[in-house]
Amino acid sequence: MRLPLTAVLLAWSAATAYADGRAATWVSVYSDDDDLTVVSPQLSVRSDVGQEVEVEAGYDVDIISAASIDVVTAASPRGYEERRHGLTLGATWRPALATTLSLSYFPSWEADYRSHGVLALASREWIDRRLTTAVDLRVTLDRVGRAGEPSQSWRDLQQLAVGSTAAWVFDRWTIGRVIYQLTRNDGFMASPYRFVDVTWTDTGMEVSVPEAVPDGRTRHAVSANLRRALGKRLFASGSYRLYADSWGVVSHTGEVEVQRTFDWDRLIVGIGARGYRQAAADFYERSYQAATGQFPELRAADKMLAESWSVLGSARGEVNLGAVLGFRALRLTLKLEYLDQHFIDFELLDGRRGLIGAMGATAEY
Amino acid sequence: MIRVIVVAVFLTSCGGSVKPWQRETLSHPCMVDESRAEELRARLHMLVAREASQGAAGAAGGGCGCR
């Protein structure tokens, strides 16, 4: 992978040597009381190539260290450590002021997962640029296996997602947006590491069998967002999302954020809150029972399929340093979030509390 | 046809017109997601790994008409 990456970077630097653009880095660290730590640095660069074309490249890593009780029992005696790498390569073409077409390719890889994804997006502004409509199509082809096993034994998972967006400028202070996304997954969606305990009712014997979930899943998600400037220095936004899928999972997500600027926009301070609640999948049970020698056709030991709710609180600060170090503008951001997640019907874990600390820098040149 | 006209009239009359020189507030970093793309991508990535729901999170973006 190093050679293609180097070639991409060389081509990138040649194509964008004298162009305007933006470079950004973001590092987040997630740590919770369930012994899960994830460090996620990412870097992205965007540059104009001529008047109508913009190219983008990005690289991100997840460094995961886990010793959660359900991971310890399902995957390995002492938990695990792994890394996920991801790339993004994309181009945006603006053939007219109000029209945008973009295409991006985003592969990712880790010891037990390979993914190749393509995203195509078309958007157009209408009615004096007050209405923006967009459609996007996302296709991913994944391979799922167990680390160390030959890739011939890995299984396929495909995803096709179609999204549509309508955004409306109500007045000079208010923007509203509605998004609908339809997603279809086909293939292997269980965890190759997870086993489900089944109790045989007449003997009381407990046996462990691999997780088994449906091969297909259709997901619907619709969200509405309203953003408004409350004066020159105060901004507020609120959003709601409804999600439902063919596995019976239904969820509601609500989110609000307030931001205030100081010192002529050199400093932005914001606080936010997010609430989430989901119903369990139809086939999910806290514990499975069957007649001797039998197993439930569908069975899962995944806490993400259990009934759950969570709250997330966040605080962030952003400083605009202006033109420094040869850049046209340099911004630094610091963010702290607290996640409190509760699993209503999951035998091994009733919840977890996590802290997410993040910082980033964005340079325009 | 009547429905189309009604919708068009509603859309063009809702809130009055917003001229290009009146879009300064709409293009403020607090009003557009593009200025926080990496931050929002990281957050979405974190949440998708912890919840069964996904989608309609704003990939298409845009909307301020201030580009």
CA dist B11 and A207 (Å) reads 62
How many angstroms separate the CA atoms of A106 and A108, rounded? 7
**Where are the domains positioned within chain A?**
33-167, 194-365
CA closest to A258 among chain B residues:
B30
CA distance B61 to chain A (A): 8
Per-residue pLDDT of chain A (365 residues; tens, 9 = 90+): 454 555 555 555 554 455 689 999 999 999 999 999 999 999 999 999 988 999 999 999 999 998 766 655 555 556 778 899 999 999 999 999 899 999 999 999 999 999 999 999 999 999 988 999 999 999 999 999 988 889 889 999 999 999 999 999 999 999 999 999 999 999 999 999 899 999 999 999 999 999 999 999 999 999 999 999 999 999 999 999 999 999 999 999 999 999 999 999 999 999 999 999 999 999 999 999 999 999 999 999 999 999 999 999 999 999 999 999 999 999 999 999 999 999 999 988 999 999 999 999 999 99
- Look at B60 and A123 and tell me if their CB atoms are within 8 Å: yes
Order of all β-strands in the sheet with A288-290:
A206-210, A195-200, A288-290
Q: Which of B9, B11, B54 to mutate to test the interface with A (most CBs of A within 10 A)?
A: B54
Burial of B7 (0-12, 13-18, 19+ CB in 10 A): exposed
**Best residue of A108, A140, A175 to probe chain B, by most B CBs closer than 10 Å:** A175
Q: Report the residue of chain A nearest B40, measured CA to CA.
A: A26
Q: In angstroms, rounded to a whole number, what is the distance separating the alpha carbons of residues A153 and A299?
A: 22
CA–CA dist B39, B41 (Å, integer): 5
| Chain B residues close to A132, C-beta within 8 Å | 62-63, 65
**Positive or negative: CA dihedral B24, B29, B30, B36:** positive
**DSSP structure class, residue A350:** S
User: pTM, whole model, 2 decimals?
Assistant: 0.89
Residues of A in contact with B63 (CB under 8 A): 132, 165, 167-169, 175, 177
